Copies of this chain bind each other. A is one copy, B any other.
Amino acid sequence: MSDRQHVTLEDVARTAEVSLATASRALNGTTRVRDDLRERVLSAAAELAYTPNAHAQALAGGSRRTVGVICHDISDPYFAAITRGVMRVADSHGLLVMLAGTFADPDRELACVSALRAQRATAILLTGSAFEDRAWERRMAAELDPYRRGGGRVAVVTRHRSLKADTVAPDNRGGARAMAEAMHRLGHRRFAVVTGPERLTTVADRVTGFREGLAAAGIELSERDVFTSSFDRDGGYAAAGALLAARHRATCVLTASDVMALGVVSALREAGLSVPDDVSVTGFDDLPLVRDLAPPLSTVALPLERLGAEALELALDPGSASRGRVRRLPGEVLLRGSTARPRRRRRA
C-alpha cells in the first residue's frame, strides 16, 4: 500500500492499451475515436475508478469548473437564499461552487477574492453589500482588475460604487420608500427606523428610501428616530431595547431587514407590547420563514434566489465582456399581520 496512489490518465491508457492522447480524447469526446478503443478506455477508467485531476486539467488549459461566491455569513437566511440560487444555475452548468464567508470583515473579503483568484475561478460573485470606504474599494479593485484581465468574470449583488462590475441590483431604495409610504397611508405618523451600520451600502440605500418615503409625506426622520446596531437578529433585539429605553413613541418601526425585525419583534413582545396592536413592525427581504411567524411579517419582498441565479448568469454570459451591466429587480411591499392601523392612543 504505497503512500498516495492516484489513478492517472496514464494508468487508464496503459490498461486500455492505447496512447495517452487517445485516452484523453475518448474520455472528453473531443475528437472522434474508434468505437472499440473508446469502449476499452471507458471500461478501463471505470474499472480503475479513475477521476481526472481537475488541477491538471485546469493547468493544461482545459477547464475552469468552479465559481466563487463571497458572502458575509451563510447562516444568514438572506445569503443562504441567494447562494441557493447561485448553486442552482451552477449545477446546471456543471460548475462547482466555492463558498467563502467573510463575517462582514472587509479584510477577509479581500483575502477571499485573492484565494478565489488563485483557484482560477470562472467567476467571482460578491453577494454581500459593499463597504463605503475609499481605501477598501481601491484595494478591491486592485484584486479584481488583474483577475478580470486574466479572463475572470465578476458580478455583484447590490450596489458596489465604482466597481464597474456586472450588477444585480434589488431596488432597496425604492422598496424602502414604498414601504414607508404604505405605512403612512395606513395611518402611522410617528416612526422609528431600526437598522445596521450605514457603511454597508445595502443598509444605506434602505434607510435613504425610508427617509424619502416619509419625507414625501411630510415627515422628517430625526437622528433620535434611527436606531443603529449590528445587521443581524441580535442587532434588531438590541436596537429595539434602545428604542424602548428611550421611550420612543413610534407606532411603526421600519426595520432594515427581516432578520433584524425578528429581534425587534421579540424584544417588543418581551416588553409586553403587542405587534401589531401596540406597534407595527416591518421587515425587508421576505425570507421564506417570515410568513410562518405569528403575526406574519409585513416586508419588502425581494426575489432572493433570482438575485443569486441572475448574478451567475450575468457573469457567465460573455455578453458585453463583463462591463458594468446592471439588472434591476424590483421589491414588492407585502402587508401581512405585523402591521395595522395605529390605535388612537398608545397603551403603556
Contact = CB atoms under 8 A, between A and B. Distances in A.
A74 B74 contact: yes
A3 interface: yes
A56 B61 CA distance: 11
B120 A54 contact: yes
Given A269-B294, A292-B266, A96 B119 contact: yes
A242 interface: no
A289 B289 contact: yes
A20 to B, nearest CB: 16
A118 B54 CA distance: 5
A14 interface: no
A173 interface: no
A53 B118 contact: yes
A75 B288 contact: yes
A87 B74 contact: yes
Interface stretch (A32-40, A146-154, A219-227): A146-154
Interface in A69-126: 73-75, 77, 80-81, 83-84, 87, 91, 96-101, 108, 114-120
Nearest to A144: B49
A217 interface: no
B97 A142 contact: no
Number of copies of chain A assembled together: 2
A6 B49 CA distance: 34
A192 interface: no
A311 to B, nearest CB: 15
A118 B52 contact: yes
A233 B292 contact: yes
A5 interface: yes
A50 to B, nearest CB: 8
Contacts of A233: 288-289, 292
B288 A146 contact: no
A94 to B, nearest CB: 9
A157 to B, nearest CB: 15
A146 B1 CA distance: 12
Nearest to A87: B101
B101 A98 contact: no
B97 A96 contact: no
Interface of A: 3-7, 49, 51-59, 65-66, 73-75, 77, 80-81, 83-84, 87, 91, 96-101, 108, 114-120, 142-143, 145-147, 149-151, 233, 262-263, 265-266, 269, 288-289, 291-294, 305
Given A56-B59, A80-B80, A97-B99, 10 more contacts: A54-B119, A55-B119, A96-B116, A97-B98, A98-B98, A98-B99, A233-B288, A262-B292, A263-B292, A289-B289
6 contacts: A5-B150, A49-B145, A55-B56, A55-B59, A55-B119, A96-B119
The 8 nearest A-B residue pairs measured at CB: A54-B118, A49-B146, A75-B84, A55-B58, A55-B55, A99-B99, A4-B151, A294-B294
